[in-house]
Structure 1
Amino acid sequence: MDHEKVNILLVDDQPAKLLAYEVILKDLGENLVIASSGREALEVLLKTEIAVILVDVCMPELDGFELAAMIREHPRFQKTAMIFISAIQVSDIDRLRGYEMGAVDYVPVPVVPEVLRAKIKVFSELYRKTRELERLNQELEDRVRARTAELESSTAKLRESEQRRSMAIAAGKMGSWDWDWITGDWMWDEGQYRIFGVSPEIFEVNPANVQALLHPDDVDQLRKAIAEFNSGTRAYETEFRIVRPDGEIRWCVGTAAATVDHSSRVVRVSGVTVDITERKRAEERQNLLAREVDHRAKNALALAQSIVRLTRADEVKAYVNAVEGRINALARVHTILSLSSWQGAELSKLIDEELAPYSLGGQIRLSGPEVQLLPATAQTLALAMHELFTNSAKYGALSTRSGRLMIGWQVEDELLTLTWEESGGPLVRTPKARGFGTRSLLASVESQLGGRAQFDWRTEGLLCRLEVPLKRKPAATTAPGKFDAADATELQRASG
């Protein structure tokens, strides 16, 4: 046959009947699909496109009525033709029930081959013609889409322009307006209302109301633009501020162009407004950041200069090592603070950074809660910890493998108490004079942070106790996290 074959699903729990149906319908030339139960039929339907279903009414587990109801519940099969075969006398009520379940016809037993073939053929042809009609509809839709595309192509430039404007409006950053110079009528689009923070339902666009939304210092810009258009200017651009009804100030840039008549008289002015508030704020942040970086660089250089000037050593190599160590300590805490955008540093991380160069294994034990330090406190404690580690590595517990160091801290009433306790190292003697490290530690903790440093030179090891207020405000001349000339003076005084 010259037509495409369709699938006919035969459902019956008796193999003999299925074989009989196959013999009867073989001459139709269609694809016959066999299912011996209602559940098997459902599996077939989910995998195969079926044109007609021939189903026995009386089957165990799932009879023909129940199967029909389940098939009709699925959107794909709501229009699939179902023919019931019944071996019992079918009453009008039974027929009505079958039709309600979705049956399109009944075939009584014994089956008349010619009648069954005729019914199946009719519904197969109907299915085939329906599919052909769907294909024709699809082809028609394709031709309509192609024609629509051609029409759209002819107006591409206009559409692209409108899309760009719509995208800008949707982003809430751009609006357009039109001003009839003769009648005084204004037209704002949705983006213009959004920028000015008003609603078209309650805001009347007129010169007085528009001027009321302009920043008082920028009202003259509007007057200047009107004057220039009256004097022959055809285009104008300016930056200005608006004050929304809720009090928010927004920065905008406005561009306007005039339309003139045959006598060169202005008849219409059209323009675009762009909200540039975020750009302005970004510029302000960038300028502030540049000033901040400059200030921090000067402060860091001042501290480095003080370290170089005040460090003492008998040999050049020792002097270089001492200076490098202190500057590296400053650089490490600077890195930690930079990663937090100079919001502060965790004490444990600061100590870990100072521990990194030593590789001491299990000689050191840390104990304490998480503590967030302000930048100024972090810088000062970093240098203080460096001096303690350096002294311990040279002369104290960390100079031998048997030495032990316990660093513990706690916070109570915004006061940080840090305990440095050495043991197991060389015998300790109280120094006759304090070195630069000890004196600078005392000066920085007590003078810069308003804290206290106590040293107990025990025979078994140094015991140092640092008390630092966590919320003490720095001096008025120094911003948080800064080091200035006053700090250098303190160190110089301590070294004296």
Structure 2
Amino acid sequence: MDKVDILLIDDQPAKLLSYEVILGELGENLVKANSPHEALGLLLKLENVAVVLIDVVMPQIDGFQLAAMIREHPRFQKLAIIFVSAVQIAETDHLRGYEIGAVDYVTVPVVPEVLRAKVRVFIELYRKTRELEAMNEELEKRVAERTAELEAQTEQLRRSEERRSIALSAGDMGSWEVDIASGHVEWDDGPYRIFGVDRATFEPTVERIEAMIHPEDREKNAVATIVAAGDSRFQVEFRVIRPSGEVRWCYGAGVITRDSDGIAVRMNGVTVDITERKRAEERQLVLAREVDHRAKNMLAVVLSVLRLTKARSTAEFVSTVEGRIHALAATHNLLSATRWQGANLSQIVDEELAPYRTDHRQRIESGGPPAMLLPATAQAVALAVHELATNAAKYGALSTENGHLRLVWKIDDQALVIDWIETGGPPAVEPKSLGFGLSIVRSSIEAQFRGGVFYDWRPEGLHCRLSIPRAQIVGPAPAQKPLVEGPRETPSHRPRSLAGRRLLMVEDEVLVGMMAKRILEDLGATVIGPYGGLADGLAAARSERFDGALLDFNLAGELADPLADLLIARGIPFVFITGYQRDSIDRRYANVPVLAKPLEAETLERVLASLLEPRSHLARRG
């Protein structure tokens, strides 16, 4: 260690010289001061003072006063001070010196060995103290460094845990640990959120958690069942019932820890709320069924077009059917573009009149405010425009060079009103009966949507007004191409197996209803309807007399359950006509026959004959 400083203070140079000679053997730095003022100045400059020797008797300021002044400075409160006195001092002076902070007294004449021994003791004490202070500083430094390191690790762990918690929360996840022997469970915030319980009031245990699992899922997802499977990892899906009664779907994955004997002691894992995924899967299944339903409905409409279209020749039949099928396809494309949300009336009109504008562009006007029609309404309007255009091309304004067609629409508080105005063509003559095409116009608008169809056969040309309830309008959308005219079919001469039967028919697809009605009438039945909506069907069921019924399962978005339940309660047999699969229909109708669209005449006849055979021929009231 470096040399220490020994400060020698005396007003007599000879005494200072003697101290210097006596203490020189110690090998330390000896610093001399002839006055208290000089001593104080040296103390402030020196960095390594171990011992101070002070003469008690000095002029102006004595040794006691100087010692008191030294002690007042914070640096020197523990400095070793030895008083040197050449005179006899009293016991009270000794006490005063010790009170000031003196560590020892030396009297004159000084014994060199004694002085050196005393000074050496305080030098060693000073060095030991400095070493301890250095060691303490080093220790404090290491502690500070270690503390900072631990704090950094703690902060890193805190941030990691925070990120984990945020990630678990964002993913509707939670982590947990189960002590299998005690049944005690440790949860983070996630499971409390997933199970819908309060951390302050709910203490998770295996028994309490399993009690919240849906009864149908409880046994196969119990801890005992999972452990008994013998696997180290597991994945499960289950439902939980929250205290509020809400059911949530969960996915669980975990690891089982076993002791040296293979006994399971702990389970760790995560739980994920997958309710939204399950709901999305259900919606996807419903959508798939709906697509299946729409496809079969479309096939049923196509089959109806084929069966109801009549012509004088094969070529005329092909042309007529082809036009109507193209009309359906065009409307289907427009509806598909909006995911079956609706179709724009302007696009419908443009699609249907496009073939005629090629030759009569200057003689066809159309326009009106934006109007998005519901899917079924869009198909009906497309068919109506197609049939009117076909009729005009055959017999009306579009069959001559001077004819003019004006198709305009407006929307008021009650309805969408479409005006079809032909001028400049052959004089319009009201027919004795409407052909198939114009019958479609009336049936589609009036029967299906409770709208109005008005034909005015004027000398200058046909004026037709279509009135559609405003409820059928949702905004602008795509369109389809309508069907063509054909002569009426003469009844077939087949066995009348349903003769005398009265049948209620509720079907929202006009063409399907028309075709089914014709089949049933050919079989001798009297058809009540068809009705296009649930309310109309219920009203007819309560007021009409009939032996059986045919119900479309989906009536313009409403299920036929209320009507089916009414018929079951009154003991009236019925069949479902639908594009849905059997498993899409409620189980309580398991005994009700289901006829898939498109309908087959032979199957329809066979099912109805079998269904009505054991029943009385007496008419029944619905």
Q: Which has the higher contact order (CA 8 A, sep 6+)?
A: 2
Give CA deviations for 1:156-202 in whole Å, capped at 9, x if unaligned.
xx9xx999966751432332210112343322234333433445455
> Please, which moves more after superposition, 328-337 or 435-444?
435-444
Name the structure 1 match of 2:191. Answer: 192
Does residue 239 (structure 1) correspond to residue 237 (structure 2)? The answer is: yes
- TM-score under structure 2 normalisation? 0.48
Does residue 421 (structure 1) correspond to residue 448 (structure 2)? The answer is: no
Structure 1 residues 478, 202: CA separation in 2 closer, same or farther (over 3 Å shift)? farther
Name the structure 2 match of 1:373. Answer: 373
Does residue 207 (structure 1) correspond to residue 206 (structure 2)? The answer is: yes
Name the structure 1 match of 2:467. Answer: 467
In structure 1, distance between residues paired with 2:439 and 2:450: 15
Correspondences of 1:230-309 after superposition (within 5 Å):
234-309=232-307
Name the structure 2 match of 1:45. Answer: none
Equivalent residue pairs, number: 337
Any conservation in 2 of the 1:230–1:266 contact (CA below 8 Å)?
Answer: no
| Counterpart residue type for residue 314 of structure 1 | R
Name the structure 2 match of 1:179. Answer: 178
Structure 1 residues 230, 491: CA separation in 2 closer, same or farther (over 3 Å shift)? closer
Any conservation in 2 of the 1:373–1:470 contact (CA below 8 Å)?
Answer: no
Correspondences of 1:384-423 after superposition (within 5 Å):
384-412=384-412, 414-423=414-423
Structure 1 residues 453, 420: CA separation in 2 closer, same or farther (over 3 Å shift)? same
Correspondences of 1:89-100 after superposition (within 5 Å):
none
Any conservation in 1 of the 2:451–2:467 contact (CA below 8 Å)?
Answer: yes
Give CA deviations for 1:337-364 in whole Å, capped at 9, x if unaligned.
2222222223223222212223243423
In structure 2, distance between residues paired with 1:343 and 1:433: 36
Structure 1 residues 488, 412: CA separation in 2 closer, same or farther (over 3 Å shift)? farther
**Secondary structure in structure 1 of the residue aligned to 2:320:** helix
Give CA deviations for 1:125-181 in whole Å, capped at 9, x if unaligned.
xxxxxxxxxxxxxxxxxxxxxxx9xxx9xxxxx9xx999966751432332210112
In structure 1, distance between residues paired with 2:180 and 2:439: 79
In structure 2, distance between residues paired with 1:476 and 1:311: 22
Structure 1 residues 192, 329: CA separation in 2 closer, same or farther (over 3 Å shift)? same
* Unaligned 5+ runs, structure 1: 1-147, 153-157
| Counterpart residue type for residue 369 of structure 1 | P
Name the structure 2 match of 1:60. Answer: none
Any conservation in 1 of the 2:220–2:226 contact (CA below 8 Å)?
Answer: no
> Please, which moves more after superposition, 334-343 or 485-494?
485-494
- Cα distance, 1:476 vs. partner? 9.4
Name the structure 2 match of 1:489. Answer: 516
In structure 2, distance between residues paired with 1:441 and 1:358: 19
Name the structure 1 match of 2:332. Answer: 334
| Counterpart residue type for residue 489 of structure 1 | A
**Secondary structure in structure 2 of the residue aligned to 1:370:** coil
| Counterpart residue type for residue 388 of structure 2 | L
Structure 1 residues 476, 245: CA separation in 2 closer, same or farther (over 3 Å shift)? farther
| Counterpart residue type for residue 390 of structure 2 | T
**Secondary structure in structure 1 of the residue aligned to 2:236:** strand
Query: What is the root-mean-square deviation of aligned Cα atoms in Å?
Result: 3.7
Name the structure 2 match of 1:81. Answer: none
In structure 1, distance between residues paired with 2:399 and 2:520: 30
In structure 1, distance between residues paired with 2:230 and 2:429: 93
Structure 1 residues 391, 465: CA separation in 2 closer, same or farther (over 3 Å shift)? same
**Secondary structure in structure 2 of the residue aligned to 1:358:** helix
Any conservation in 2 of the 1:257–1:270 contact (CA below 8 Å)?
Answer: yes
Structure 1 residues 491, 326: CA separation in 2 closer, same or farther (over 3 Å shift)? farther
- Cα distance, 1:444 vs. partner? 2.7
Any conservation in 1 of the 2:184–2:206 contact (CA below 8 Å)?
Answer: no
In structure 2, distance between residues paired with 1:334 and 1:174: 43
Name the structure 2 match of 1:345. Answer: 343
In structure 1, distance between residues paired with 2:264 and 2:407: 81
In structure 2, distance between residues paired with 1:334 and 1:390: 20
In structure 2, distance between residues paired with 1:485 and 1:442: 15
Any conservation in 2 of the 1:452–1:468 contact (CA below 8 Å)?
Answer: yes
Give CA deviations for 1:230-287 in whole Å, capped at 9, x if unaligned.
6855444321112345544221122233212223222211122122223212221222
**Secondary structure in structure 1 of the residue aligned to 2:181:** coil
Any conservation in 1 of the 2:175–2:187 contact (CA below 8 Å)?
Answer: yes
In structure 1, distance between residues paired with 2:466 and 2:518: 18
Give percent identity, aligned residues only. Answer: 48
Any conservation in 1 of the 2:256–2:268 contact (CA below 8 Å)?
Answer: yes
Structure 1 residues 494, 446: CA separation in 2 closer, same or farther (over 3 Å shift)? farther
In structure 2, distance between residues paired with 1:196 and 1:165: 19
Any conservation in 2 of the 1:302–1:483 contact (CA below 8 Å)?
Answer: no
- Cα distance, 1:389 vs. partner? 1.0
Any conservation in 1 of the 2:413–2:470 contact (CA below 8 Å)?
Answer: no
Any conservation in 2 of the 1:440–1:491 contact (CA below 8 Å)?
Answer: no
Structure 1 residues 478, 279: CA separation in 2 closer, same or farther (over 3 Å shift)? farther
**Secondary structure in structure 1 of the residue aligned to 2:361:** coil
Any conservation in 1 of the 2:172–2:272 contact (CA below 8 Å)?
Answer: yes
In structure 1, distance between residues paired with 2:373 and 2:221: 51
Any conservation in 1 of the 2:443–2:510 contact (CA below 8 Å)?
Answer: no
In structure 2, distance between residues paired with 1:293 and 1:491: 28
| Counterpart residue type for residue 388 of structure 1 | L
**Secondary structure in structure 1 of the residue aligned to 2:418:** strand
Any conservation in 1 of the 2:445–2:468 contact (CA below 8 Å)?
Answer: yes
Name the structure 1 match of 2:219. Answer: 220
In structure 1, distance between residues paired with 2:277 and 2:323: 43
- TM-score under structure 1 normalisation? 0.59
In structure 2, distance between residues paired with 1:335 and 1:299: 15
| Counterpart residue type for residue 314 of structure 2 | V
**Secondary structure in structure 2 of the residue aligned to 1:356:** helix
In structure 1, distance between residues paired with 2:408 and 2:385: 13
**Secondary structure in structure 2 of the residue aligned to 1:402:** coil
| Counterpart residue type for residue 203 of structure 2 | E
* Unaligned 5+ runs, structure 2: 1-148, 473-503, 523-622
Q: Which protein shows a greater Rg? A: 2
Any conservation in 2 of the 1:302–1:488 contact (CA below 8 Å)?
Answer: no
| Counterpart residue type for residue 378 of structure 2 | A
Give CA deviations for 1:54-91 in whole Å, capped at 9, x if unaligned.
xxxxxxxxxxxxxxxxxxxxxxxxxxxxxxxxxxxxxx
